[in-house]
Amino acid sequence: MSKQNSNDDKNNNFFNKNPLITFAIFSIVIIMLFKGLVGDGSAFNANNGTSTSRSKQVSYSEFKGLIESKSLSKVEIGQSYIKAKSADGMIYTTRLIPGDVNLVSLLDSKGIDYSGFSETNWFTEMFGWLFPFLLIIGIWMFFAGRMQKSMGGGILGMGNSKKMINSEKPDTKFDDVAGVEEAKEEVQEIVDFLKYPARYVEIGAKIPKGVLLVGSPGTGKTLLAKAVAGEADVPFFSVNGSSFIEMFVGVGAARVRDLFEQAKKDAPSIIFIDEIDAIGKSRAAGGMMGGNDEREQTLNQLLAEMDGFGTDTPVIILAATNRPEVLDAALLRPGRFDRQVLVDKPDFEGRVKILKVHMKSVKMDDDVEIDEIARLTAGLAGADLANIINEAALLAGRKSQKTVKQSDLFESVERAIAGLAKKSRRINPKEKKIVAYHESGHALLAETTDGAKKVSKVSIVPRGLAALGYTLNKPEEDRFMMQRFEMWAEVDVLLGGRAAEEVFIGEISTGAGNDLERSTDIIKSMVQTYGMTDVAGLMVLEKSRQSFIGGGQQATREYSDKMAEEMDNFIKSSLEEHYGSVIKRLEEYKGAIENMVELLYEKENITGDEVREIIVNFEKENNLKSKVIESVNEIKEELKEDAKMVKKDVKDEDQTS
Ligand code: ADP
Ligand code: ZN
């Protein structure tokens, strides 16, 4: 911990640590003090201080006797008791008997001066109201304080927000960040500037002040920012956008001020703001909650700070987000975050590089084929890959191996993709049967449909909470586009699960819900977005969303009701049509499915090769023309040919368009 912290510990006495107790004691003392001092609203209280010894509690009948004997000069009637003053200055009090309606007429008849009084006074009354509120505030402050403490701050840490700001000098280098070559190139200039600011300042070059790193979680944005600091050998101030949003208005702004103050003091330096959308969300978009003052103040302070220093001050602000579209436009203006660097999910080659980076620190067996792992992990981010290797190392360790084997990596990949294996979760035999047929249906369609992705594994071991079984498809290359027949093929594969349930079980289940949703979405996007159907022709009904998913912007419908109806009809009828042909295929391959299910029952997991073998054998036995398009060997060949194919593909594309 820092020096600042140890200083604070010295000052921390009991009361500082227990604000609630302090507060409660304080309140009680105050209340008691004032209750004693002020008393009630009676006029007799004026001489309370001097004549307390001359007051007497009497019974009601005694009191009545006093009235009768006319020895009272004045009577005050409260809500629950009566005070009376006798001629000689003695004060009598008695409890009021509420039912005594004759009291007033008795006083009248004796000609005694009487009046009413309120037993409470403004102060106790007010305190009675205020106390619960104060108590709630006290409790709230207590918990807020604990929360802040657990985050490294202290109670009411408005002044000492410096504690929240930690700087380090990372030794991360560009070599540690793999698979994002373009992004690295783009930030290279910043490294140069931080290293040799004078060069740039002399020439008068304008260096960007703020750079927005845009990409999905775990793609290495933080890592890249650190590497910039590491390469330039400058301090790295890192904060999370959400940590600025505190319960107390004004704290966030103060933190921003402190952050910039320190970074400028230590310049050249880097400020990294992770999840900047927490502060920088568009003010227009965030209006639902009636505006967030704290966030707005923090944002304004950030803007003011960024405008406040010139491009000759070597402080660079890097900010990360995966939702640039929600950011306030003010943040993106020139002189602020006017540059965006895409830190994308890695492609095949990128994944190989990232895997290699993380394998450096782990003992790998000779049987490890990085390419194969990279193939299986299309769509995963760097953080997932790092995790996979670590998981594999843990698996190997558990099995007391000296090195991490390919099989460990496979298992780890499966876990990452399909969620943690829940071997302990038993599914009942009926469910198992449904799942086996369902997944076999997917697998058969995947292997016998032109344009479908090949199966790499079929499993009926439940994983995670949702999936009872799963079929892993092998993406042979990174898909950045799909042809129409491939999309239809995917629809068929998705429908294969439900169709198998119908054909082989004779009843359908909820297990196909997700499949149906996805197949519907595919057809919808063909109509709406890709101009692949006659329904809307080339007309686009819905603009493709921003590529950074999660923006959640509600698209407004820009087409007629009739068009909507036609689209619905088209989706429904093509699902029916495809479902029909899928059923036919399954009936044709009944024996193959039965064999697959048998093997699944035996082994719970079967490989893509086993699936293909079963199908090809079945086709041979029944003299069917094989629909399994590539044999196992051909697939392997194809992978090797990948590199050469890329060039040829490009040529083909040019010619066919
Ligand atoms: P982000 O900030 O984009 O959410 P991080 O930088 O925090 O992602 O990534 C978390 C971890 O994942 C890193 O510390 C690193 O171990 C690993 N990682 C992510 N991307 C990469 C990459 N491109 N190269 C190497 N490792 C990566
Ligand atoms: Zn399914």
Rounded Cα distance between 232 and 190, Å, is 8
Highest mean pLDDT range out of 403-417, 430-444, 545-559, 601-615? 430-444
Domain boundary among 95, 122, 149: 122
Mean pLDDT along residues 213-241: 91
Q: Which has more confidence, 77 or 611?
A: 611
Q: Is 357 in the pocket of ligand 1 (CB under 6 A)?
A: yes
Helices (H), 160-245: 181-195, 197-203, 221-232
Ligand nearest to the CA of 356: 1
State both tokens at 212: 């927005």
Closest protein CA for atom 7 of ligand 1: 222
Closest protein CA for atom 14 of ligand 1: 223
Residue with structure tokens 């009090």? 93
In the β-sheet with 72-77, what is the strand arrangement from edge to edge? 55-57, 91-95, 81-86, 72-77, 113-116
Give yes or no: residues 232 and 316 share one domain: yes
Rounded Cα distance between 568 and 562, Å, is 10
Closest protein CA for atom 1 of ligand 1: 218
Domain boundary among 417, 441, 470: 417
Q: Is 221 in the pocket of ligand 1 (CB under 6 A)?
A: yes
Residue 456 lies in a domain: yes
Q: Is 421 in the pocket of ligand 1 (CB under 6 A)?
A: no
Active-site choice (246, 391, 414, 439): 439
Count other C-beta atoms under 10 Å from residue 247's C-beta: 12
Mean pLDDT along residues 168-172: 89
Does position 160 have pLDDT exceeding 80, yes or no?
Answer: no
pLDDT band at 640 (very low <50, low <70, confident <90, very high): low
Percent of residues, the chain, with pLDDT higher than 90: 30
Which stretch of 399-413, 425-439, 482-496 has the lowest confidence by average pLDDT?
A: 425-439
Does position 150 have pLDDT exceeding 80, yes or no?
Answer: no
Does position 500 have pLDDT exceeding 90, yes or no?
Answer: yes
pLDDT digits 0-9 by tens, 290-305: 456 777 888 888 889 8
Does position 153 have pLDDT exceeding 60, yes or no?
Answer: no
Residue 147 lies in a domain: no
pLDDT band at 424 (very low <50, low <70, confident <90, very high): very low
β-pairing verdict for 236-240 and 166-168: antiparallel
Give yes or no: residues 327 and 354 share one domain: no
209 CA from centroid of ligand 1 (Å): 23
Give yes or no: residues 249 and 329 share one domain: yes
392 CA from centroid of ligand 1 (Å): 18
Give yes or no: residues 500 and 570 share one domain: yes
Residue 313 lies in a domain: yes
Rounded Cα distance between 381 and 479, Å, is 15
- Provide the phi-psi class of 275: left if phi over 0, else alpha when psi is between -120 and 50, else beta: left
Q: Which of 216, 223, 355, 362 to mutate to test the pocket of ligand 1 (most atoms within 8 A of CB)?
A: 223
Q: Is 314 in the pocket of ligand 1 (CB under 6 A)?
A: no
Give yes or no: residues 591 and 521 share one domain: yes
Per the annotation, the verdict on 638 as an active-site residue is no
Which stretch of 226-230, 318-322, 426-430, 454-458 has the lowest confidence by average pLDDT?
A: 426-430
Give yes or no: residues 561 and 452 share one domain: yes
Q: Which has more confidence, 223 or 165?
A: 223
Residue 131 lies in a domain: no
pLDDT band at 235 (very low <50, low <70, confident <90, very high): very high
Strand partners, 113: 74
Does position 420 have pLDDT exceeding 60, yes or no?
Answer: no
Taking alpha carbons only, the member of 109, 321, 299 closest to residue 215 is 321
Highest mean pLDDT range out of 85-89, 159-163, 430-434, 624-628? 430-434
Give yes or no: residues 587 and 454 share one domain: yes
pLDDT band at 574 (very low <50, low <70, confident <90, very high): very high
Rounded Cα distance between 6 and 2, Å, is 7
306 CA from centroid of ligand 1 (Å): 27
Atom of ligand 1 nearest to the CA of 383: 12
Give yes or no: residues 473 and 579 share one domain: yes
Provide the number of structural domains found in the chain.
Answer: 4
pLDDT at 308: 83
Q: Is 183 in the pocket of ligand 1 (CB under 6 A)?
A: no
pLDDT digits 0-9 by tens, 358-416: 999 999 999 888 988 887 776 678 998 999 999 999 999 999 999 999 999 998 988 87
175 CA from centroid of ligand 1 (Å): 12
Give yes or no: residues 183 and 329 share one domain: yes
Residue 556 lies in a domain: yes
pLDDT digits 0-9 by tens, 17-39: 455 566 666 666 666 665 555 55
Ligand nearest to the CA of 436: 2
pLDDT at 362: 92
Give yes or no: residues 478 and 371 share one domain: no
Residue 647 lies in a domain: no
Give yes or no: residues 10 and 88 share one domain: yes
Domain boundary among 364, 382, 417: 417
Residue 424 lies in a domain: no
What b/e sequence results for 551-577 when a residue is b if at least 16 CB atoms lie within 10 Å of its CB, and e otherwise? eeeeeeeeeeeebeebbeebbeebbee
CATH number of domain containing 577: 1.20.58.760
Mean pLDDT along residues 212-240: 91
Q: Is 222 in the pocket of ligand 1 (CB under 6 A)?
A: yes
Mean of the per-residue pLDDT values of the chain: 78
Closest protein CA for atom 17 of ligand 1: 383
**How many Cα neighbours within 13 Å face the side chain of 297?**
16
Residue with structure tokens 């999840």? 275
pLDDT at 26: 66
Residue 219 lies in a domain: yes
Domain that holds residue 410: 348-417
Does position 121 have pLDDT exceeding 50, yes or no?
Answer: yes
Rounded Cα distance between 586 and 162, Å, is 67
196 CA from centroid of ligand 2 (Å): 58
502 CA from centroid of ligand 1 (Å): 45
Give yes or no: residues 404 and 539 share one domain: no
CATH number of domain containing 30: 3.30.720.210
pLDDT at 201: 81
